[in-house]
Chains A and B, each alone.
Chain A
Amino acid sequence: MFNLSILKQFSRLSLCPATKAQINARPVSTATALQFRMTEPLCAEPMKKKKKLDPQIIKAREDRRRKKIEKQIRRLQKNAQQLKPIDEMEVPLHLLDQLGKRKRPVDVKPEVLEARALLQKEWTRYKREEYMSSVAQIDRIMAAQRRALDKLYEESEDLYYEAIMPDLSLIPYTIKGPVATPPIKDYESPDGEYIDVSKKWDN
């Protein structure tokens, strides 16, 4: 009988009655039979299984990377001490070889040397005079400007403050100096070839 009671308990799950005993039972079942179910909706892909790497390989890889960086650092440090050579500063080897051939036979007489020394002294005096006169000139021009500004201050304070404002449009200032010979009108310069021989020094 025990068996039967268990069956009765699970009767809801079964499609057909377990026993004929319930033949006179009500034809309408109040139990909700859940034969069909929907699976849970999945909003994501199932996780992939992580590949397990051999710890030794990982270590080797890390080592290799570190070694590479260390090598780079070492190379940079070595280069830091080595300065970029300036070709123009080095005497070409073929000149050094032919030094004897290229030396000029120079024989300067003592009188000439004396005259040169005197000229040098005279030149120094001349330059000093020139310097003094240009300083005096600058003083004179500055004094003229100071006077003009003072007079302007007496006339109008506003104009004075406008006048002493720095003129920022002057920066950057470029000026082309006087040249040795005057320009030739409508001169077409002959074409030349331009060869860039400068070396590249980036690594």
Chain B
Amino acid sequence: MIFKLLLQAELKLCQRTFARGLSSKPAWDIVTGVCIERLPVITPPLNEMQKKYKEMLYTIEVEKSLKSDHEVRHDNDKIQAELLKNESADVDLDAVSKITAQDFEDAANEELAQFKFADIVTEADKKGDKSSLERCLQRHLVLVTELQLGKDKKPLLPQGKWVEGETLRQTAERIVSEHCGPELKVQFVSNAPCGFYKYKYPSEIEGKVGAKVFFYYANYKSGKLTNKVKANWLTRTELMDTLPDRYKKSVHEFLIEESF
């Protein structure tokens, strides 16, 4: 059994080298595409199930807890008020005149109400500005640029040809700075490509039949795009709507799905 397995592996290797030996001149262009993704800034909303479970955990936690200092103080205040109403003799007037727990709570609530949290729906969302990074804060956004391919322009991930002498990772880094300007800082997460796509040219160009695209994955870190390029940050659904048919399949292969 082991021998068979070994033989198979050996045969595969022979086949590979043989195949490569036949096509000594690569008839394909090697192209590197870069998938720059902005990770979500804020947590996704909870779904029904999560909300229910969270509520249950909260109530259980309250049931199991002891009363806090504040609650004890509130209870004492109540007793004092009761005594005051009945005009009992042993009312400690010093204790009554102080600020009650309820007053403190109201003041704290008022202060909280005054504080304005930033809105989840940003300006860019309202305007429908897809080129802004400040949109859809709860979702993953992927950078898509318009690329000149042959005669027509197509919305694709930024890509460029590999040049002799550099590794694919270096090509990817070069493409990012060429397409997006030097200000955009990204973090590549691997030396290895994460996806593959292959397309044929309509006619042979310089003896090349088509291009093999190797995708690299990078996370957005900081900085802005240059204004020269027309680029959009797209959510998953928008991505599937804009990218060309076969291309989007290969891109979808290596992206994390969103659960909402």
A155 touches B212 (CB 8 A): yes
Q: A119-B52, A151-B196 are in contact. Are A185 and B118 (CB under 8 A)?
A: yes
The verdict on B240 contacting chain A, using a C-beta distance below 8 Å, is no
The verdict on A104 contacting chain B, using a C-beta distance below 8 Å, is yes
The verdict on B93 contacting chain A, using a C-beta distance below 8 Å, is no
The verdict on B89 contacting chain A, using a C-beta distance below 8 Å, is no
B169 touches A162 (CB 8 A): yes
Question: Chain A contact residues (Cβ within 8 angstroms of B): what range?
Answer: 35 or more
The verdict on A103 contacting chain B, using a C-beta distance below 8 Å, is yes
Partner of B49, one of A123, A148, A170: A123
Complex alpha-carbon distance, A3 and B168, angstroms? 120
A163 touches B43 (CB 8 A): no
The residue on B at minimum CB distance from A184 is: B118
The verdict on A166 contacting chain B, using a C-beta distance below 8 Å, is yes
Contacts of A154 in B (CB 8 A): 16, 19-20
A179 touches B191 (CB 8 A): no
B118 touches A179 (CB 8 A): no
Contacts of B195 in A (CB 8 A): 144-145, 147-148
A141 touches B196 (CB 8 A): no
A182 touches B42 (CB 8 A): yes
A149 touches B192 (CB 8 A): yes
Q: A141-B254, A148-B194, A170-B189 are in contact. Are A159 and B167 (CB under 8 A)?
A: yes
Complex alpha-carbon distance, A152 and B172, angstroms? 15
A167 touches B191 (CB 8 A): yes
Contacts of B67 in A (CB 8 A): 101-104
A104 touches B63 (CB 8 A): yes
A182 touches B122 (CB 8 A): yes
Complex alpha-carbon distance, A137 and B162, angstroms? 30
Distance of A91 from chain B, by nearest CB (Å): 10
The residue on B at minimum CB distance from A141 is: B254
Contacts of A106 in B (CB 8 A): 63
Complex alpha-carbon distance, A115 and B1, angstroms? 55
Distance of B246 from chain A, by nearest CB (Å): 15
Distance of A147 from chain B, by nearest CB (Å): 6
Question: Chain B contact residues (Cβ within 8 angstroms of A): what range?
Answer: 35 or more
Contacts of A74 in B (CB 8 A): none
Chain A contact residues: over half helix, strand or loop, or mixed? helix
Which residues in window 146-173 of A have CB below 8 A to B? 147-149, 151-157, 159, 162-167, 170
A137 touches B256 (CB 8 A): yes
Contact bitstring B10-42, A, C-beta under 8 A = 1, else 0: 000000100110000010101000000001111
Complex alpha-carbon distance, A31 and B30, angstroms? 113
Partner of A152, one of B214, B254, B255: B214
B43 touches A179 (CB 8 A): yes
Contacts of B253 in A (CB 8 A): 140-141, 143-144
A141 touches B256 (CB 8 A): yes
The verdict on A70 contacting chain B, using a C-beta distance below 8 Å, is no
Q: A151-B212, A156-B30, A159-B168 are in contact. Are A108 and B191 (CB under 8 A)?
A: no
Complex alpha-carbon distance, A178 and B53, angstroms? 21
A163 touches B191 (CB 8 A): yes
Q: A99-B66, A155-B28, A159-B30 are in contact. Are A147 and B52 (CB under 8 A)?
A: no
Complex alpha-carbon distance, A51 and B243, angstroms? 99
Complex alpha-carbon distance, A133 and B39, angstroms? 20
The verdict on B188 contacting chain A, using a C-beta distance below 8 Å, is yes
Interface residues in chain B, defined as those with a beta carbon under 8 Å from any beta carbon in chain A:
16, 19-20, 26, 28, 30, 39-44, 49, 52-53, 56, 60, 62-63, 65-67, 72, 75, 116-120, 122, 137, 162, 167-169, 188-196, 198, 212, 214-215, 250, 253-257, 259
